Amino acid sequence: MADMDDDELLAALGVEVSPIKASSRTPREERIIAGFEDILRFHHGHGHAPQHGEDRDIFERLYAVRLDRLRQLPEALVLLADMDTVGLLSSAACSTINVDALDEDALLAELGVNATSSETGDITVLRHVRSSIEKQAAEEIASRTSCDDFPTFKPMFEQVQKDLDSGIRQTRSFQVKSIDEIRPGAFFIVGGQTAYIAEVGDTFSTSFNAQRMDSRLRVIYDNGTESNVLQRSLQRALHRDDMARLITDPNPGPLFSQDWDDSDIESGTIYVLRSLSEHPFVSQHRELIHKIGVTGGKVENRIASASYDATYLLAEVEIVATYKLVGIQRTKLENLFHKIFANAQLDLTILDRFGHPVKPREWFLVPLPVIDQVVQHIIDGSITDLIYDPASASLAPSN
């Protein structure tokens, strides 16, 4: 075998030798195909063609520029025709940006890259390229300055906090359907700070889409700073912040949220209980005697030991109604119920487990339908015009 040449040795091993076929593609054509394959992979992964825009990352913007260039090359349209099964090169999908008309600085700007380099002066060298999102976030933070007239705005922030504490205002998860919702006078929570839209400047068309409007805002923050940002920049900041919230306008009437979702913070629950006590008076008026309370936890946990607690008449109880609360101070609301039904409070003394006399509070001689009516009047803000009349067991005008 030592006398065999390479071909004879391979033949003895049963290996067929085939000549390597030379590629019929020129290096330029290979680069065009490889570049388009990157674009196809992007389309497959994201479901759309790469697009221009300041909110796109550097790779998508590179692919968008590359695709624009390929659409303008007749040789590329012929070469890639069989590969373009999704129609990326069709004229209908063409961008409005003319890549050939861009000089080097403009092209790099389109890609979101700073064209200057203090180290080399070579605009073809990209150094420390950040995504546009990172750049915008840094710019928004860096653009904050001290608010010289903050004493004018400070009382507004203090009042907003008082309104939130009392339930006059509430917070909602931020889901902007229109940029117009970022308007003068609106309050938001973003980055852990309360932000106030003090001014909105004139609207103008963005550089990438004549139909896409934007404007400059003056935003005041509760830490005494302000920024001069674009509406759409603030919109993106709010959407990027999972904890961002919209602070609702003042609403002094309703104390309950009628439309609340999983993202809302539940303040507690109003519960209405009926006693199962065998006490003669309670047994006789069972359908009329109710305990009204408010808890921040589960009602079931609150009443688990009712039969051992004089507060619950030393007997088991049943839950007959509950009302969920959002953004409400529970203690104040509980006091409101007790004030409304003060003239119908149950006057009953029982002995606790140690033989001591106890007069339970929070029990009232009020029909369940009336309690529900009071809840509804609190919701619409009309409770201030009504009182409870024990004689008729109904609500009556306060005047």
167, 219: one domain: yes
The answer as to whether 252 is a domain residue is no
Residue 195: predicted pLDDT: 92
The answer as to whether 313 is a domain residue is yes
Interacting residues of 109 by C-beta distance below 8 A, sequence separation 6+: 115
The answer as to whether 15 is a domain residue is no
pLDDT tens per residue, range 232-277: 888 888 877 778 888 887 654 444 544 544 444 456 788 899 999 9
Residue 174: predicted pLDDT: 63
If one counts the domains in the chain, the total is: 3
176, 113: one domain: no
The answer as to whether 119 is a domain residue is yes
271, 294: one domain: yes
Handedness of CA 21, 27, 31, 33 (dihedral sign): negative
Interacting residues of 334 by C-beta distance below 8 A, sequence separation 6+: 292, 293, 294
190, 282: one domain: no
Residue 250: predicted pLDDT: 65
The answer as to whether 258 is a domain residue is no
282, 345: one domain: yes
151, 115: one domain: no
The answer as to whether 12 is a domain residue is no
List, run by run, the mean pLDDT of 10-residue segments along the chain (399 residues). Answer: 62 57 71 86 84 77 84 85 85 50 49 42 42 46 77 89 78 65 85 88 68 82 90 81 80 47 59 91 90 86 86 89 74 81 87 79 89 82 82 82
The answer as to whether 8 is a domain residue is no
Distance, in Å, from the CA atom of 71 to the CA atom of 68, rounded to the nearest integer, reads 5
Distance, in Å, from the CA atom of 271 to the CA atom of 258, rounded to the nearest integer, reads 17
308, 336: one domain: yes
Q: Closest by alpha carbon to 196, among 172, 220, 217? A: 220
The answer as to whether 5 is a domain residue is no
29, 103: one domain: yes
181, 208: one domain: yes
Residue 20: predicted pLDDT: 47
149, 125: one domain: no
Q: What single-letter amino acid sits at 74?
A: P
Residue 273: predicted pLDDT: 93
| Torsion-angle region of 91 (φ positive above 0: left; ψ -120 to 50: alpha; else: beta) | alpha
290, 385: one domain: yes
309, 216: one domain: no
Distance, in Å, from the CA atom of 79 to the CA atom of 83, rounded to the nearest integer, reads 8
User: Full-prediction pTM beyond 0.85?
Assistant: no
For residue 100, which phi and psi values (nearest 5 degrees)?
Answer: -65, -25
Structure tokens at 343: 């003239």
Q: Which domain holds residue 225?
A: 135-247
Residue 230 DSSP SS3: strand
